[in-house]
Amino acid sequence: MVRWKRAGFLLMLDIVFANLAFIGAMLIRFESVSIQQWQFYISAFVPYTVIRLLSNYFFGIYRRAWRYASIDEVLAIVGAVSVGSIFSVMLCLFWYGALPPRSIVVLDWFLNIALLGGSRFAWRVIAPHTSGLAHAQQKRA
Protein backbone atom coordinates (compact mmCIF):
# COMPACT_ATOMS: atom_id res chain seq x y z
CA MET A 1 0.00 0.00 0.00
CA VAL A 2 2.84 2.37 0.83
CA ARG A 3 4.39 1.64 -2.56
CA TRP A 4 1.20 2.77 -4.35
CA LYS A 5 1.06 5.95 -2.30
CA ARG A 6 4.69 6.71 -3.14
CA ALA A 7 4.11 5.98 -6.84
CA GLY A 8 1.03 8.22 -6.81
CA PHE A 9 3.00 10.99 -5.14
CA LEU A 10 5.80 10.66 -7.70
CA LEU A 11 3.25 10.66 -10.52
CA MET A 12 1.70 13.91 -9.28
CA LEU A 13 5.15 15.40 -8.77
CA ASP A 14 6.07 14.48 -12.34
CA ILE A 15 2.91 16.11 -13.69
CA VAL A 16 3.78 19.34 -11.90
CA PHE A 17 7.49 19.24 -12.79
CA ALA A 18 6.95 18.37 -16.46
CA ASN A 19 4.65 21.34 -16.90
CA LEU A 20 6.90 23.63 -14.87
CA ALA A 21 9.76 22.65 -17.17
CA PHE A 22 7.70 23.48 -20.26
CA ILE A 23 6.54 26.83 -18.88
CA GLY A 24 10.05 27.55 -17.60
CA ALA A 25 11.51 26.84 -21.04
CA MET A 26 9.06 29.30 -22.60
CA LEU A 27 9.83 31.94 -19.98
CA ILE A 28 13.59 31.53 -20.37
CA ARG A 29 13.38 31.62 -24.16
CA PHE A 30 10.88 34.45 -24.59
CA GLU A 31 11.34 36.29 -21.22
CA SER A 32 7.56 36.48 -21.01
CA VAL A 33 4.68 34.43 -22.32
CA SER A 34 2.21 35.95 -24.77
CA ILE A 35 -1.47 35.08 -25.08
CA GLN A 36 -0.71 32.95 -28.16
CA GLN A 37 1.92 30.97 -26.27
CA TRP A 38 -0.46 30.41 -23.33
CA GLN A 39 -3.12 29.20 -25.75
CA PHE A 40 -0.61 26.79 -27.28
CA TYR A 41 0.39 25.55 -23.83
CA ILE A 42 -3.23 25.05 -22.76
CA SER A 43 -4.03 23.10 -25.93
CA ALA A 44 -0.88 20.96 -25.57
CA PHE A 45 -1.05 20.49 -21.78
CA VAL A 46 -2.80 17.11 -21.68
CA PRO A 47 -1.02 15.36 -24.59
CA TYR A 48 2.36 16.71 -23.45
CA THR A 49 1.81 15.48 -19.90
CA VAL A 50 0.61 12.07 -21.07
CA ILE A 51 3.68 11.69 -23.31
CA ARG A 52 6.00 12.55 -20.40
CA LEU A 53 4.27 10.16 -17.99
CA LEU A 54 4.20 7.28 -20.49
CA SER A 55 7.86 7.80 -21.28
CA ASN A 56 8.70 7.73 -17.57
CA TYR A 57 6.60 4.60 -17.11
CA PHE A 58 8.21 2.69 -19.98
CA PHE A 59 11.68 3.56 -18.71
CA GLY A 60 10.77 2.20 -15.28
CA ILE A 61 10.99 5.50 -13.45
CA TYR A 62 8.11 4.50 -11.16
CA ARG A 63 9.51 1.04 -10.35
CA ARG A 64 12.92 2.02 -9.06
CA ALA A 65 14.16 2.15 -5.47
CA TRP A 66 15.30 5.77 -5.35
CA ARG A 67 16.89 5.32 -1.95
CA TYR A 68 19.65 3.39 -3.76
CA ALA A 69 19.79 5.54 -6.91
CA SER A 70 22.94 5.26 -9.01
CA ILE A 71 24.18 5.73 -12.58
CA ASP A 72 21.57 3.28 -13.93
CA GLU A 73 18.83 5.55 -12.63
CA VAL A 74 20.49 8.62 -14.16
CA LEU A 75 20.57 6.85 -17.52
CA ALA A 76 16.90 5.89 -17.14
CA ILE A 77 15.99 9.52 -16.39
CA VAL A 78 17.98 10.84 -19.36
CA GLY A 79 16.45 8.18 -21.62
CA ALA A 80 12.90 8.84 -20.44
CA VAL A 81 13.25 12.60 -20.85
CA SER A 82 14.93 12.25 -24.25
CA VAL A 83 12.24 9.93 -25.62
CA GLY A 84 9.56 12.19 -24.13
CA SER A 85 11.14 15.18 -25.86
CA ILE A 86 11.27 13.39 -29.21
CA PHE A 87 7.62 12.40 -28.98
CA SER A 88 6.66 15.92 -27.85
CA VAL A 89 8.33 17.37 -30.94
CA MET A 90 6.52 14.78 -33.08
CA LEU A 91 3.25 15.80 -31.40
CA CYS A 92 3.86 19.43 -32.35
CA LEU A 93 4.76 18.50 -35.90
CA PHE A 94 1.79 16.23 -36.58
CA TRP A 95 -0.86 17.90 -34.44
CA TYR A 96 -0.01 21.56 -34.99
CA GLY A 97 1.90 21.32 -38.25
CA ALA A 98 4.95 23.19 -36.98
CA LEU A 99 8.09 22.44 -35.06
CA PRO A 100 8.71 24.26 -31.78
CA PRO A 101 11.84 26.40 -31.53
CA ARG A 102 14.91 24.24 -30.90
CA SER A 103 15.79 26.36 -27.89
CA ILE A 104 12.45 25.46 -26.27
CA VAL A 105 13.09 21.75 -26.88
CA VAL A 106 16.61 21.92 -25.43
CA LEU A 107 15.57 24.02 -22.43
CA ASP A 108 12.57 21.76 -21.77
CA TRP A 109 14.84 18.69 -21.98
CA PHE A 110 17.37 20.18 -19.57
CA LEU A 111 14.76 21.40 -17.08
CA ASN A 112 12.95 18.05 -17.15
CA ILE A 113 16.19 16.21 -16.37
CA ALA A 114 17.02 18.67 -13.59
CA LEU A 115 13.56 18.50 -12.00
CA LEU A 116 12.94 14.78 -12.46
CA GLY A 117 16.47 13.82 -11.46
CA GLY A 118 16.61 16.34 -8.65
CA SER A 119 13.39 15.09 -7.11
CA ARG A 120 14.54 11.46 -7.29
CA PHE A 121 18.03 12.05 -5.99
CA ALA A 122 16.71 14.28 -3.22
CA TRP A 123 14.93 11.12 -2.06
CA ARG A 124 18.31 9.39 -1.86
CA VAL A 125 19.68 12.19 0.33
CA ILE A 126 16.60 12.53 2.56
CA ALA A 127 15.59 8.86 2.99
CA PRO A 128 18.41 7.76 5.33
CA HIS A 129 17.64 10.66 7.68
CA THR A 130 13.92 9.89 7.86
CA SER A 131 14.15 6.13 8.35
CA GLY A 132 15.27 6.29 11.96
CA LEU A 133 18.68 4.80 11.20
CA ALA A 134 20.45 8.12 11.46
CA HIS A 135 18.86 8.76 14.86
CA ALA A 136 19.70 5.25 16.07
CA GLN A 137 23.32 5.71 15.05
CA GLN A 138 23.50 8.97 16.96
CA LYS A 139 22.46 7.21 20.17
CA ARG A 140 25.40 4.82 20.02
CA ALA A 141 28.31 6.41 21.73
Domain definitions of the chain by residue range:
2-139
* Pair 82, 105: CB distance under 8 Å: no
d(CA 118, CA 68): 14
Local confidence pLDDT in tens for the 141 residues of the chain: 566 777 788 889 999 999 999 999 989 988 887 888 788 888 888 999 999 999 999 998 887 766 666 788 889 999 999 999 999 999 989 888 888 889 999 999 999 999 998 888 877 777 666 665 545 555 555
What pLDDT digit, counting tens, does each position of 130-141 carry? 665 545 555 555
Phi and psi at residue 100, to the nearest 5°: -75, 160
What pLDDT digit, counting tens, does each position of 72-95 carry? 888 999 999 999 999 999 998 988
